[in-house]
Amino acid sequence: MRPDSTSFENFMSTQGINNDSAVVITHQGIKPGNVAGAARLYWHMKYHGFDNVALLDGGNAAWVAALEELVDNKTQTGNSVFNAGVERGEILATISEVKSAMTNKQIILVDTRDLRQHIGIKKKKLCL
């Protein structure tokens, strides 16, 4: 469910991101599920040791609602060199931790998959 360090380094590098970059991740911000992919990328970056990352609150919809300019032209970034840090296993929940959390009323588990994915009818393609 997560890319190995080499695959993640390649992905980040082809996006023009290096270890000195500042990254803001955005999403459509129209439906609650829109944030899932953006949040997952945020988590992957943290997992692979990259901390200079933020998730835009409300996504593009909130940006536009605040009357900020939204453009659809891409900036050409070119390849960069990104080196993954030490994997942060402490932010990865194990199966036993999730099973334990299911019976703990102090912990709230959130599943962002749509119903078809949740029950196994549909599978999501990995982007990385």
Work out the widest C-alpha separation in the chain, in whole angstroms: 49
pLDDT at 2: 84
Q: 18 near 78, Cβ under 8 Å?
A: no
In the predicted structure, residue 24 carries a pLDDT above the cut 90: yes
- CA atoms 42, 18, 12, 49: torsion sign: negative
- Domain architecture of the chain: domains with CATH: 5-89 (3.40.250.10)
> Residue 34: what pLDDT?
80
Identify each DSSP E strand in the chain by its residue range.
Answer: 23-25, 53-55
Q: By three-state DSSP, how is residue 75 classified?
A: coil
Interior CA angle at 46 toward 13 and 14, to 5°?
Answer: 10
Nearest 5 degrees, angle CA 27-CA 30-CA 31? 100
Residue with tokens 């939204």: 70
Q: Which residues contact 67 (CB under 8 A, 6 or more apart)?
A: none
> How does pLDDT run across 42-76, given as a tens digit for each residue?
999 999 999 999 999 999 899 889 988 777 776 77
- Are 34 and 59 in contact by the 8 Å Cβ rule? The answer is yes
- Asked if the model's pLDDT at residue 127 lies above 70, the reply is no
The larger pLDDT score, comparing residue 32 to residue 38, is at: 38
